[in-house]
Structure 1
Amino acid sequence: MPDAIFADPRLAAVYDVFDGDRGDLPAYLAIADEVGARRVVDVGCGTGSLAVVLARSGRTVIGVDPAAASLDVARAKDGAAAVEWRLGDAGGVPACGADLAVMTGNVAQVFLTDDDWLAALRGVRGAIRPGGHFVFETRRPGFRAWEEWAADTGTVIRDVQGVGPVERTFALTAVDLPLVSFRYAYRFRTDGAVLLSDSTLRFRERDEIETGLAAAGFQVLDVREAPDRPGREYVFITRRGAAPRW
């Protein structure tokens, strides 16, 4: 079940404004160029920011997400008509012979159990052609990002076009490694409504990720820094390889 920030229509409508600058998008566009990808699947595409950028570059793009409200926001963006939008989770990504599948943001960390993660990897593998690539990012546990989050509890206020002023506050609710949970509270000043969104992420160590990828039939080609967040994340560049061990 998607978190409320993605699934609730009122929250999905303000997501991009609070998400701010997407400095990660150029890096993924560059990777698509690097691997020669013409057909791309954006798994967990959310409000479609990357999918639209990829489509504008002349690629065939499929955006897949389990939150209908986020897809509604995506479909309303300039250039969205060039993207094929599909409602579904990572385990049900369509088999479309893609050259590249991507997971940006926190998508790879929302799979809290090993079984859920393996099911997601199976879905992604089925979506790409033999020899196609899978690229995703995940936060480094050693950076201990949750400590930085816990110190950043101030109220953020944004004036959202068509919505009005919205206040957002953050609270770290649990750290039970490898799981970290947190809550966003949004207050809409126009009517005083307060909406909550609870999330939990799993922080996997690099060797754990590599073991899972190998079991799912992916070959790790490179593990890079996120250019916009050096030292904080791994960016895995993988290729669909031999038959998986399942």
Structure 2
Amino acid sequence: MLHAEFDDARLVSVYDAEYSWSRDDDFFLSVVDETPGSRVLDLGCGTGRLALGLAAAGHTVTGVDPAAASVAAARAKPGADSVTWVDGTSADLPTAAFDVAVMTSHVAQFFVEDAAWRQALTDLRRSLRPGGRLVFDTRDPRDRRWERWNPADSRRSVALPDGSVVEVWTEVTEVRDSVVGFTHHYTLPGGEVVRSTARLRFRDEGELRGSLSEAGFAVERLYGGFGREAVGAGDGELLVIARAVG
């Protein structure tokens, strides 16, 4: 099933158990905190980990995601009433409503087609006030991260809150130009095997800068890791901070 890890409630609970607050979230929080008390859009908010952290830090947060099961999990968490949750996409964003927009957990890579990426950036630009900032992460294709998405390197056991364990592993099914397809395999308690498929786009720095400029953004800072390392010297990431211009 395409994107089952976000749309299947059973797999959403696995995702939530596996990915707790991390240095990735620390990075995004630190950037948003540069604009105290800001109105923040978390596009692709998933199960709400960062959105809730941003709200707890004093920001006014709206979390938007097309995966209803993920948003339902977010709404069920402690403190969820402090965030406005929206089942939707970038097309549903209001105009000039936010000071900062974030896309985390490599959401930017899910916009595989150029037209979809252009539309998302156009929608994000419209949703930001003049001078507002867009912050997102995407994997640097030079790091070739997908080469480590194989059964030997990716196999792990995820403990759920009820004490049961889910076995998870990943395999790459397609590498074509800048697009990588893959499948996550889950062995649930009791033995049922569920699969989640996806395709990601790996855009290089030049492609990112060009598409952002076309959509009305100017890149202010670009890092290669969540410790704000230089590109090529960090975690194999491209961490973009851009400002809405024009």
- Same structural fold, with TM-score higher than 0.5 when normalized by the shorter chain: yes
1:20–1:55 distance in 2 versus 1, CA, 3 Å: closer
Mean Cα deviation higher: 81-90 or 151-160: 151-160
1:175 maps to which residue?
175
SS of the aligned residue for 1:146 comes to helix
- Following superposition, the deviation at residue 34 of structure 1 comes to 1.7
Q: Is 1:226 equivalent to 2:221 in the alignment?
A: no
235, 238, 242: which one aligns with 2:239: 235
- Following superposition, the deviation at residue 164 of structure 1 comes to 2.0
Mean Cα deviation higher: 46-55 or 21-30: 21-30
Q: Is the 8 A contact 1:2 1:66 kept in 2?
A: no
* Paired amino acid for 2:219: V
Mean Cα deviation higher: 52-61 or 82-91: 82-91
Q: Structure 2: which 5+ runs fail to align?
A: none
Listed one character per residue, the Cα deviations across residues 78-130 of structure 1 (whole Å, up to 9, x for unaligned) are 21110000011123323352100000112000001110001100111121111
SS of the aligned residue for 2:200 comes to strand
SS of the aligned residue for 2:58 comes to coil
Q: Is 1:6 equivalent to 2:14 in the alignment?
A: no
* Paired amino acid for 2:4: A
Q: Is the 8 A contact 1:4 1:196 kept in 2?
A: yes
* Paired amino acid for 2:238: Y
- Following superposition, the deviation at residue 37 of structure 1 comes to 5.4
| Separation (CA, whole Å) in 2 of partners of 1:151 and 1:143 | 19
Paired residues for 1:28-67 under 5 Å: 28-36=28-36, 38-67=38-67
1:134–1:37 distance in 2 versus 1, CA, 3 Å: farther
| Separation (CA, whole Å) in 1 of partners of 2:50 and 2:96 | 19
Q: Structure 1: which 5+ runs fail to align?
A: none
- Following superposition, the deviation at residue 33 of structure 1 comes to 1.6
| Separation (CA, whole Å) in 2 of partners of 1:94 and 1:181 | 32
Paired residues for 1:87-102 under 5 Å: 87-95=87-95, 97-102=97-102
| Separation (CA, whole Å) in 2 of partners of 1:145 and 1:154 | 12
Displaced runs of 4 or more, over 6 A: none
2:203 maps to which residue?
204
| Separation (CA, whole Å) in 1 of partners of 2:235 and 2:11 | 30
1:227–1:22 distance in 2 versus 1, CA, 3 Å: same
| Separation (CA, whole Å) in 2 of partners of 1:71 and 1:210 | 31
- Following superposition, the deviation at residue 162 of structure 1 comes to 3.3
- Following superposition, the deviation at residue 145 of structure 1 comes to 0.7
Q: Is 1:16 equivalent to 2:27 in the alignment?
A: no
Q: Is the 8 A contact 1:91 1:121 kept in 2?
A: no
TM superposition score normalised by structure 1:
0.92
Q: Percent identity?
A: 40
SS of the aligned residue for 1:100 comes to strand
- Following superposition, the deviation at residue 150 of structure 1 comes to 3.0
Listed one character per residue, the Cα deviations across residues 117-157 of structure 1 (whole Å, up to 9, x for unaligned) are 01100111121111111111111011111112237445322
* Paired amino acid for 1:199: A
